Structure 1
Amino acid sequence: MNPTSVAVRAGLRRGWIELRNTFTNYQDLWNYFFPTFVLLVAMFFMRGSTVPGTTFSLGARTLPSALGMGLAFGGMLVLASQLVVDREDGTLLRAKATPNGMLGYLIGKLVLMSAMALVSMALQLIPALFFLDGLRVTSAAAWFTLAWVAVLGLVATLPMGAVFGSLIENPRNLGLVMLPNMGLIALSGIFYPINGYPGWLQAVAQAFPIYWLGLGMRSALLPDGMAAVELGGSWRHLEMFGVLGIWAVLGLVLAPVVLRRMARRESGSRVAARRERAMQRAV
């Protein structure tokens, strides 16, 4: 068996083990359930409001948008933060020291992040069905759209998360990625349609994956008539595929280069120096 196949198998096994461990870690369980609880409570109280110009529940419209936001957030921010933490505690250095260890490490993280994203979607979608009306959950076409948007969204965001995590050395600097993403969430129509925004803000939102993931999830779960309140009056699947595809290609090109560069720079002395700085901050 060639070394690459061994690394791939090891990465798949690593991802499964890490996923299993998240369900026995109280902090990880909190990270799953608390944001989900907050979103569900918000949608519950929004269910009586309606999307402007329609009689459709604003809460039901928000649910698929939140699913798309969760994919983008997990793909870019959670993976980036895990890379930063693993670099600081020496996990990446140990992976680098084994043959094809970085490949196995990366595959493990991709498996973990993808599974976590799907679990988070299920935790939001299933309870919301009990108090939100109008969602298309019995249509095979809806589930097909949900599947391809989720897969393409993960491919578009996970490599970029790896890029961001490779470029950030200090965990304190994660805010440099998080704050712009929070701003994009506000601009991307997750909680309210963006039709009333100035044209230049709409253009900014449409340049990033968050808007398109929200739109894709809405196209899967909302009635076809709700496309009328979107920009352009349609779900724009072709444009969605194009923008997410561009981000996917960009990430897949950049991620291996940046990860190799980061791995080459890792050494025992750099890990020790980061630990020393962390201890000084703690004191």
Structure 2
Amino acid sequence: MKLTFYKGDIPNFGDDLNNIMWDALLAPGFLDDNEDELFLGVGSILWDFLPKKPKKIVMGSGYGGYSGKPNVHDGSWDVAFVRGPRTAKALNLDPNLAITDAAILTRFMNLPAQTKKYKVSFMPHWESIPRGNWQSVCKQAGINYIDPTDPDVMRSLQAIQQTELLVTEAMHGAILADTLRVPWLALEPIFPRHRNKWFDWSESMSIDLKFNTTPSSSIKDFWSHKTGNQGMGNRSVQLGKLLSFTDSYFIDNAAEKLLMLAKSHGQMSSDNTFIDKSEMALEKLSQYCKINSL
């Protein structure tokens, strides 16, 4: 059974969590390179272009609208659970299968406790990094920057554990903060297509999601906000170079707004919901897989 998740040219925290979480939870040798069965874990990976023939085991994945809707009723799919009610509705699945995102199983990795080091940390969406100036913004604001493209996922998990409040544009930043019981503030993703999946997850955890406006850290961020486009094409790159003299203004403004947000109280699912949902996810996992003793 082959572990299947999104792999782009650039590392991404939420997707790359698959590499370490399943290795920690599943018995050695359970996952292999046999493509006759696919194991779908963390991520918005319920695509319509997955190969038709293999059996596909869905373990907490989501439908993010990044492709057409797959036909999960064609006989090749076995759905243990999905990320949330919006995925279940979109794919015409039993609402009881909408447990939550698979990343909640990080609870059972028995990560070492960490001492708090940062009052506030910030994690952008990975696609916002080439468009913006977020590392400079955080440096100016005195806020710890967590890079979602850092290939060392354990280092990012530890940084979240060491944080008292995580401000994040990345959904899996919020999911892992919630799982590690760290309060978080959600920044509305600049690119609109990334927003619906947040509600899919938050509704699964009975969280009344409160999006905060993401400040623009560059002229390209500003352009993306105004147009709804990703702001990463050739015209945007040329615009950014032509108007790079505006960077200091946007960095100053974004740093000020992050500092204002840092004064807010974060959100988090209730302890009861978190415990219930994580144990439901673990029970589903144990029904399908041989797991390590926890």
- TM-score, structure 2 normalization: 0.28
Which has more helix, going by share of residues? 1
- TM-score, structure 1 normalization: 0.29
Which has more strand, going by share of residues? 2
Higher relative contact order (Cα pairs below 8 Å, separated by 6+ residues): 1
